[in-house]
């Protein structure tokens, strides 16, 4: 029988690695969607959740920054779970996620209706760091070795 997260630690680690890879592919797709599609999706979600229309004045923390941080939080947590226990992995994963975040911003600069933004990169980095840190705190076993080079 198929288990999403098997009890065998080796199989579980591999499963997290696959989940992380698939999730990062999904992030790349989502962040590469044209602006018009993103707007339609946002309107659909608001209607689905019965949320009021957005006010005319800008929000203190724009929703797109929360989305960026959330996506990279999950990516960081999945990567940390998939590659925990290896020496120096903390910094390697953080650097890889920042490079990936930069790549998504470069791609967005070529997508109609989207722009690259330093604020998005900052939100990506903060989300990734938080995801890595949370996963590091809740990992069973070799947590003491995690991140030490």
In a domain, 14, yes or no: no
In a domain, 20, yes or no: no
**What is the rounded distance in angstroms from the CA atom of residue 104 to the CA atom of residue 26?**
12
In a domain, 11, yes or no: no
Average pLDDT over residues 35-44: 85
pLDDT band at 11 (very low <50, low <70, confident <90, very high): confident
4-38 residues labelled b (16+ CB within 10 A) or e (exposed): eeeeeeeebbebbeebbeebbeebeeebebeeeeb
Q: pLDDT averaged over the chain?
A: 83
**What is the rounded distance in angstroms from the CA atom of residue 15 to the CA atom of residue 122?**
29
In a domain, 112, yes or no: yes
Write the DSSP symbol of residue 52. Answer: P
In a domain, 97, yes or no: yes
The CA distances from residue 6 to 17, 29, 80, 89, 147, in Å, are 13, 28, 17, 23, 25
**Cβ neighbourhood burial of 48 (10 Å; 0-12, 13-18, 19+):** exposed
In a domain, 84, yes or no: yes
**What is the rounded distance in angstroms from the CA atom of residue 123 to the CA atom of residue 15?**
27
Q: In terms of pLDDT, which residue wins out, 137 or 33?
A: 33
Is the pTM for the entire model greater than 0.95? no
- Structure-block tokens of residue 5: 């997260």
Helices (H) and strands (E) in the chain, counts: 5, 0
Range of the structural domain that residue 96 is part of: 26-145
In a domain, 7, yes or no: no
For the stretch 55-73, pLDDT in tens is 665 555 687 899 899 999 9
In a domain, 4, yes or no: no
**What is the rounded distance in angstroms from the CA atom of residue 124 to the CA atom of residue 101?**
6
For the stretch 111-122, pLDDT in tens is 999 999 999 999
How many structural domains is the chain composed of? 1
For the stretch 136-149, pLDDT in tens is 888 654 443 444 43
Q: How high is the pLDDT of residue 57?
A: 55
């Amino acid at each position: 029988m198929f288990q999403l997260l098997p009890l065998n630690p080796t199989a579980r680690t591999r499963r997290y690695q696959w989940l992380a890879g698939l999730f990062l592919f999904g992030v790349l797709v989502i962040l590469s969607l044209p602006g018009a599609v993103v707007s339609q999706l946002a309107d659909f979600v608001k209607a689905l959740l019965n949320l009021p229309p957005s006010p005319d004045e800008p929000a203190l923390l724009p929703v797109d920054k929360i989305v960026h941080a959330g996506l990279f939080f999950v990516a960081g947590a999945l990567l940390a779970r998939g590659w925990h226990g290896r020496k120096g992995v903390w910094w390697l994963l953080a650097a890889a996620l920042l490079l990936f975040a930069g790549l998504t911003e470069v791609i967005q600069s070529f997508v109609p209706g989207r722009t690259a933004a330093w604020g998005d990169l900052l939100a990506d980095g903060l989300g990734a760091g938080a995801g890595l840190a949370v996963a590091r705190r809740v990992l069973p076993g070799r947590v003491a070795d995690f991140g030490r080079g």
